[in-house]
Amino acid sequence: MKAASAIDTKEQILNVAEELFAEQGFAGTSLRQVIKQAGVNLSAVHYHFGSKEELFRAVVAKTAQPIVKKSLEQLAIVEAREETPNVETILEAFLTPSLQVFIENGGGDRSTNCARLMGRCRTEPDPIQKIADDEFEELCVAYLDALQRVLPEQSRNELDWKLDLVVAGLIRVLSEAGKSNALIQDNSPEAIQVAIKRLVNYFAPAMRSH
Amino acid sequence: MKAASAIDTKEQILNVAEELFAEQGFAGTSLRQVIKQAGVNLSAVHYHFGSKEELFRAVVAKTAQPIVKKSLEQLAIVEAREETPNVETILEAFLTPSLQVFIENGGGDRSTNCARLMGRCRTEPDPIQKIADDEFEELCVAYLDALQRVLPEQSRNELDWKLDLVVAGLIRVLSEAGKSNALIQDNSPEAIQVAIKRLVNYFAPAMRSH
DNA sequence: TTCATATTAAAACGAACGTTTGAACTTATT
DNA sequence: AATAAGTTCAAACGTTCGTTTTAATATGAA
C-alpha cells in the first residue's frame, strides 16, 4: 500500500531537514522552509514524522547511525587484530569512519552539515541534546572501555573528558572543512588520510597526558 | 538626564539575555522571554539596543571583552618575563583568564553560560557567527604570533587549526563544568588550578605534534 | 470495478514572533 | 512651578510559527 512517491517525499524531507537543521539549528529552522525547499506539502511532515521534534530525531538518527555502526566495527577489527592496541590505533579507529563519511558525502556542504548537526546537538538545550547523546552513548562506552585497557593508570573520569575533547575537536575539524586555514582543505582520499594522521598525532599524546 | 533605573533596566536586559541566548541560542530565545525574566517592558529592548540582533551583539561584547583583555595582558606579561616562553607557558596564559572568569562568575550556571554562549556563536549561521569571531580575532592573532615564535618549524596554517581545537576544547570544558565526569567539578580556586594544569598538559604535546 | 487504505493538498487554527506607535511617567535643569 | 529630555508603558501592527482539520487524490487488494 506504499506508493513510491511517499518514500521520495519522506526522504526529501529528511535530506532538506538535515541541511537546514545543521545550518540554522532546531529553533532557527521552520517547517515551512523545509517543505518549500523539499517541494512537498506542509502536512507531509506531520504525516510522516508526527512533529518537528520527531523529524529532528529522525534526522539525527539517520546521520549518526552509519557513523556509530562503522566506528564500532572498526573497533572490533582493531581489537581482534591486536591483543593490546596502542592509543594511536584506537584513535585512528575512532576518527576514520567520520572522515570516511565525509568523503562519501562529497566533501561539500553535504559533508560539513553532518558534523555541524552534531555540533549543534551538543550545545542545544534539552531535549534536543539528549537525542544525539543517546545515539552516541554505546559508541563512547565501547571506546572508553578500549582506552581504559590501554591506559589503565588513568581514571574513567579522566578518559571521559579527554575523549570528549577529541569529539569536540573532530566535530570542529569537520565543520570547518574547506575554510582557509582549516585542517581539511579538500576531500581527496589522500587529504583525508593526512588529516587522520594529523589528528591522531595531535590527540594521542593528549590522551596520554596527566 | 539619566535615571538610575535606566541603567538597571539596560543591565538587567543584558544579564538575562546572556543567560537565555547561552541556553537557547539566538533563534530559540524570544524578546518576550527576556523582558519577562528581566521584569522590564518589551519596548525597553528596542529603546536601549535597537533590535534583537544588536542586543545579541551587546551581550557577546560584554561577555568576550573582559576575557580578551585579560588574555592579551597575560600574554604581554609572559613575553616580558621570558625571551622565548615554551608552549606550556603560552597555553597557560591563554587558558587562565577564561577559567578565572569562571570563578568570578561563581561557578554555577552564570559561569557555564559564558562558555555556552561562545560555543553557540561558533555554530550559529552568519551574521551571528561573525559577531564573536570579530571580538576574538585580535586575541587569536596575538597568540598565534607567540606560538609561531616558539614553534617555528610549524606553518601558520598548522598552528591555526591546532589553536582552534584548543579553543573548542576550552569551550567544551567550561560548558560541561559541573556535570558528572567533567574536568571541572567545582569552582574552588584549587580545582581550577588543577583544571588549568590538566588542560595545559593535554594540549601542549598536541600543539607540538606533527 | 469496488472498496479500503495510503498519501497529498489547501485552508485555517490559535499562539507567538520582532517591531512600531503614541501616550504616560520620571528626572534634572531652569 | 515650568520645561524639556530621558525612560517606561500598554496596545497594536503585520507576519510567521507548529499543528490540526477536512477534503481530494492516488494506490493496491477484493
Confirm whether A83 is domain-assigned. yes
Query: Residue A197: which CATH number?
Result: 1.10.357.10
For residues A20 and B28, what is the distance between their CA atoms, to the nearest angstrom? Answer: 15
Confirm whether B4 is domain-assigned. no
Question: Mean of the pLDDT values across residues A170-196?
Answer: 95
Nearest to B206 among A157, A173, A203 (CB): A203
Question: Mean of the pLDDT values across residues B125-143?
Answer: 92
Q: What is the pLDDT of residue B6?
A: 64
- Are the beta carbons of A172 and B175 separated by less than 8 Å? no
Residue B27 (CA) to nucleotide C24 (C1'), in angstroms, measures 33
Q: Flag whether pLDDT at B167 surpasses 80.
A: yes
Q: What is the pLDDT of residue A112?
A: 93
Q: What is the pLDDT of residue A107?
A: 83
Chain B residues with a Cβ under 8 Å from any Cβ in chain A:
23-28, 116, 119-120, 122-125, 156-157, 160-162, 164-165, 168-169, 171-173, 175-176, 181-183, 198, 201-206, 208-210
Give residue B172's domain range.
63-208
For residues A164 and B181, what is the distance between their CA atoms, to the nearest angstrom? Answer: 10
Mean of the per-residue pLDDT values for chain B?
94
Q: What is the pLDDT of residue B177?
A: 95
Q: What is the pLDDT of residue A7?
A: 67
Which residue of B123, B137, B184 is the best one to mutate when testing the A interface, meaning the one whose CB has the most A CBs within 10 A?
Answer: B123
Number of domains, chain B: 1
Residue-wise pLDDT for B29-50, tens only, equals 999 999 999 999 999 999 999 9
For residues B107 and A94, what is the distance between their CA atoms, to the nearest angstrom? Answer: 33
Residue-wise pLDDT for A174-186, tens only, equals 999 999 999 999 9
Q: Flag whether pLDDT at B26 surpasses 50.
A: yes
Write down the residue that cell numbers 596564559 correspond to.
Answer: B93
Measured between beta carbons, the chain B residues lying within 8 angstroms of A203 are: 206
Confirm whether B162 is domain-assigned. yes
A41 is near strand C: CB distance < 7 Å: yes
DSSP B26-95: TTT--HHHHHHHHT--HHHHHHHTSSHHHHHHHHHHHHHHHHHHHHHHHHHHHHHH-SS--HHHHHHHHH
- Are the beta carbons of B202 and A181 separated by less than 8 Å? no
* Sequence-separated (6 or more) residues with CB below 8 Å from residue A18: A59, A62, A63, A113, A114, A117
Confirm whether A119 is domain-assigned. yes
Which segments within A9-69 are labelled E, that is strand? Answer: none
Q: Radius of gyration of chain A from Cα atoms?
A: 18
For residues A145 and A59, what is the distance between their CA atoms, to the nearest angstrom? Answer: 28
DSSP single-letter state for residue A181: T
Pull the grid cell for residue B30. 524570544
Neighbours of A130 (CB within 10 A): 13
DSSP single-letter state for residue A3: -
Confirm whether B115 is domain-assigned. yes
Q: Flag whether pLDDT at A154 surpasses 60.
A: yes
For residues B112 and B178, what is the distance between their CA atoms, to the nearest angstrom? Answer: 9
Predicted confidence band of residue A1 (pLDDT cuts 50, 70, 90): very low
- Are the beta carbons of B28 and A24 separated by less than 8 Å? no
Predicted confidence band of residue A4 (pLDDT cuts 50, 70, 90): low
Confirm whether B24 is domain-assigned. no
Closest CA–CA distance from residue A7 to any residue of chain B (Å): 30
Residue-wise pLDDT for B64-101, tens only, equals 999 999 999 999 999 999 778 999 999 999 999 999 99
Measured between beta carbons, the chain A residues lying within 8 angstroms of B175 are: 123
Q: Flag whether pLDDT at B210 surpasses 60.
A: yes
- B199 vs A125, residue with greater confidence: B199
Picking from A61-70, B6-15, B64-73, B161-170, which range would have the lowest pLDDT averaged per residue?
Answer: B6-15
User: Would you give the distance in Å from CA B105 to the centre of its chain?
Assistant: 12
Q: Give pTM, 2 decimals.
A: 0.95
Secondary structure of residue B25 in the 3-state scheme: coil
Q: What is the pLDDT of residue A5?
A: 66
B2 is near strand D: CB distance < 7 Å: yes
Confirm whether B50 is domain-assigned. no
Question: Mean of the pLDDT values across residues A52-78?
Answer: 97
Q: Which residue of A has its CA nearest to B157?
A: A181
Task: Note if the bond before B97 is cis, omega within 30 degrees.
Answer: no
Measured between beta carbons, the chain A residues lying within 8 angstroms of B123 are: 25, 116, 119-120, 123, 175
Confirm whether B89 is domain-assigned. yes
Q: What is the pLDDT of residue B1?
A: 45
Q: Which residue of A has its CA nearest to B30?
A: A27
What Cα–Cα distance (Å) separates residue B41 from each residue in B8, B22, B101? 13, 22, 30
Q: What angle do CA A3, A36, A131 make, to 5 degrees?
A: 80
- A74 vs B84, residue with greater confidence: A74
Residue B63 (CA) to nucleotide D8 (C1'), in angstroms, measures 27
- Are the beta carbons of A28 and B24 separated by less than 8 Å? no
Q: What is the pLDDT of residue A74?
A: 97
Q: Are A26 and A120 in contact (CB under 8 A)?
A: yes
Give me the numbers of helices (H) and strands (E) for chain B, helices first please: 9, 0
Q: What is the pLDDT of residue B128?
A: 85
